[in-house]
Amino acid sequence: MLTNNDILKKLRVAHKLRDEDIIKILKLVDFDISKGALGDMFRNEDHPKYVEAGDQILRNFLNGLIIHLRGPRPKLKLPKKNDQK
């Protein structure tokens, strides 16, 4: 079974992202993380400083990656109340 750390590692390799790129992607969704904390998630599981990536970091990374690849979500144009027929 893949862990959140495995998914992050695979996405990092697939998109050729460096740590700085991942930090910038997370900032697109207002999620701040240090380079050291990010590095702890990419360590081997048997390393003493290994940190398991939670669902929140993966969710924010995926949302940020969408913005990074597609651009920001366009604003919805709501009909004006006067335009009702």
Residue range 22-57, pLDDT digits in tens = 999 999 999 999 999 999 999 999 999 999 999 999
- Residue 82 located in a structural domain: no
Tell me the C-alpha distance between 42 and 50, whole Å: 8
User: How does residue 75 score in pLDDT terms, banded at 50, 70 and 90?
Assistant: confident
- DSSP annotation of 72 reads S
Task: Assign 74 to helix, strand or coil.
Answer: coil
- Residue 85 located in a structural domain: no
User: How does residue 83 score in pLDDT terms, banded at 50, 70 and 90?
Assistant: low
Cα-Cα-Cα-Cα dihedral sign, residues 51, 55, 56, 59: positive
- Residue 80 located in a structural domain: no
Task: Assign 76 to helix, strand or coil.
Answer: coil
Of 59, 64, 41, give the one whose Cα is nearest residue 51. 41
- Total structural domains within the chain: 1
- Residue 56 located in a structural domain: yes
Place of tokens 């750390």: 5
| Residue 27 structural domain | 4-71
What's the confidence (pLDDT) of residue 48? 94
